[in-house]
Amino acid sequence: MGRELVLILQILFPVVAGCLLFVLNRKDNHNVQKLYVSAVLAIECGLVSAGSFMQETVVEGFCVTPSIRLLMCNDGLSRIFGVLVAFVWLLVGIYSFRYLKETKKQVMFYGFYLIALGVLEGLGLAGNLVTFYLFYEWMTLMTVPFVFYNRTAEATRAGRKYLFYSVAGASFALAGIFLLSGNAEGLSFAGGGLNADADTTQVLLAAVLLLLGFGTKAGMFPMHGWLPTAHPVAPAPASAVLSGIITKAGVLGIIRSMYYVIGAEYLVGTYVQTVFLILALITVFMGSMLAYKEKVLKKRLAYSTVSQVSYVLFGLALFTPAGLAAALLHMIFHSVIKNGLFLFAGTVIHQTGEERVEGLCGMGKYMPVTFWCFTFASLALVGIPPMSGFVSKWYLAKGAMEAPVGAFSYIGPAVLLVSALLTAGYLLSVTADGFLPGKDFVEPTPEPGEGHVSMLIPCGIFAAAALLLGVFASPLVELVTKLGTSLF
């Protein structure tokens, strides 16, 4: 019973804490909120860490149908996702205390922030596709207030767009689940798989619908439109978790449905794999090109997310153990890197008011720590050794070259290389202009300074992690390789 309680608390504790914040703290008392939210986030990290060391445990809930019940399980994938979410939520939460200090309606932000954490932990712990879908829908409802937060006309339009795309994607996914329900008993992730008499036509159609549905949250073309709209209007802490974590919920949905329920071997060589590979590579290239041309910093980073998350999708589309392991590596590394980049953007906007890239020229002189954090994260995203991004991109290219996917074995790495060059162009140019603005640079008045230490520390941790996860990648590589191999 003790193990089951730990899993349940990982979900219920932050949800209840978020609800209590709405009820008990009706006025914006920043110091009380800061202590309360910090304690909740720290305790949740402890619960998730404890759960990650436990033996695999299954918790059964009520029956949805005679053959399908709500099910929770802490398997290998749930542990990776749960730990990633908990610690990112903690660091971004610490950053938000200073960033949101002068804003109104902080109770709303922190209440939904805590509830969303519990929902995401539930998403990771889901033991079958029906349970996953329920948490997936709640995740959308608990994160859409982040986009509406500033309550401007632009934020309202962006929030509606985020909600529209999310509902459309969830509808595709639900249709896929209905088609699969008659072909996979219980839709379970543990010991699941298709029935012996499964209808191939229905299963492949379900796979396409699930790919489009969950691919919406992952920002995959043609369902990527919400990302570059929602990110610029949301506060920086919200943009960070939307890009670094919420997009990974879509990735998680694709892994669970394609690898755990249907089975990768079933999809190899089918039109589903071809469609998946094409859409992933289109998104990689398109996102990089749009980011390269974009002049608004947060929007540039949003297009970058569109591209980089599709690196993960490309690895998944290979349907090989090596491809899955590489995809999981890049999922983790991108989450760390992109959270750091969005916090950098938030710090710069908070200190200078500048939202456009050209307005950052020369700012490295006044905010050197912030710009060096950005530089380290940028080098990691480009894939410069020994940064973490290099490790995951190396394994992605290697996995593609070894996979039986025909011309995609060469087209894929080529597209990834072009995308990496574009990434260097749209990120490292910010560093170059920040530190070397040129002779026409005019000193700003008043001169900006570094952000508060509570904003710098999370940025520094993410930047350091972007390096250290690459230098000491072996344990993580071994972990994801073992997980990838176990599914084949």
pLDDT at 28: 60
Assess contact for 119 and 135: CB atoms under 8 A: yes
Q: Is the pLDDT of residue 232 over 60?
A: yes
pLDDT tens column, 237-261: 999 999 999 999 999 999 999 999 9
In a domain, 142, yes or no: no
Assess contact for 384 and 466: CB atoms under 8 A: no
pLDDT tens column, 397-450: 999 999 999 999 999 999 999 999 999 999 999 999 989 887 777 777 777 888
Output the average pLDDT for the chain.
Answer: 91
Whole-angstrom Cα distance, residue 416 to residue 304?
13
Q: Is the pLDDT of residue 57 over 70?
A: yes
Q: Which two tokens stand for residue 307?
A: 């591209």
Q: Which two tokens stand for residue 291?
A: 């980011």
Collapsed DSSP state (helix, strand, coil) of residue 70: strand
In a domain, 402, yes or no: yes
The one-letter amino acid code at 408 reads F
Phi, psi (rounded to 5 degrees) for 387: -70, 160
In a domain, 423, yes or no: yes
Q: pLDDT category, 27, cuts 50, 70, 90? A: low
Q: Mean pLDDT, to the nearest integer, of 309-331? A: 96
Q: Model's pTM, two decimal places?
A: 0.94
Assess contact for 211 and 275: CB atoms under 8 A: yes
In a domain, 195, yes or no: no
Identify the domain containing residue 407 by its residue range: 278-488
In a domain, 70, yes or no: no
Q: Mean pLDDT, to the nearest integer, of 275-299? A: 95
Q: Is the pLDDT of residue 1 over 60?
A: no
In a domain, 284, yes or no: yes
How many structural domains are present in the chain?
A: 1
Q: pLDDT category, 212, cuts 50, 70, 90? A: very high
Residues 6+ apart with CB under 8 A from 70: 60, 61, 62, 64, 128, 130, 131, 134
Q: Judging by beta carbons within 10 Å of its beta carbon (0-12, 13-18, 19+), is residue 268 exposed, middle or buried? A: middle
Q: pLDDT category, 26, cuts 50, 70, 90? A: low
pLDDT tens column, 326-379: 999 999 999 999 999 999 999 998 888 888 888 889 888 899 999 999 999 999
**Bond before 446 cis per omega within 30 degrees:** yes
The one-letter amino acid code at 264 reads A
Q: Mean pLDDT, to the nearest integer, of 85-95? A: 96
Whole-angstrom Cα distance, residue 486 to residue 316?
15
pLDDT at 313: 97
Which carries the bigger pLDDT value, residue 60 or residue 176?
176
Q: Mean pLDDT, to the nearest integer, of 56-69? A: 74
Q: Mean pLDDT, to the nearest integer, of 94-115? A: 89
pLDDT at 66: 67
In a domain, 173, yes or no: no
Q: What DSSP line would sit under 439-473, residue for residue?
A: TT----SSPP-PPPHHHHHHHHHHHHHHHHHHHT-
Assess contact for 292 and 232: CB atoms under 8 A: no
In a domain, 299, yes or no: yes
Residues 6+ apart with CB under 8 A from 266: 194, 203
Q: State percent of the chain over pLDDT 90.
A: 69
